[in-house]
Structure 1
């Protein structure tokens, strides 16, 4: 089973991205403190979640 992951920038956003993996869609962004819009967890949160799973 192949796992495909695609990442797209959100139009008009500085750091926000849409992550698609299989039938799941996730949003990633930086917090407002770091210049993002806080539309989703930041990269370090995703990394810790991946290690924890």
Structure 2
């Protein structure tokens, strides 16, 4: 990750992690089972075609 992107990730971290929790909860409800992995790692990457 480029260091100049760190402030954006810091600013958006709460929203990103909230969406992740909501997605895992949706999975559990939609498939009537807990998310199958103990961990869910997120790695920031460069968007396709972006800087």
State the TM-score, normalized to the length of structure 2.
0.26
Which structure's residues are more often strand, by fraction? 1
Which structure's residues are more often helix, by fraction? 2
Q: Indicate the structure (1 or 2) with the bigger Cα radius of gyration.
A: 2
State the TM-score, normalized to the length of structure 1.
0.25
Report 1 or 2 for greater relative contact order, CA contacts < 8 Å, sequence distance ≥ 6: 2
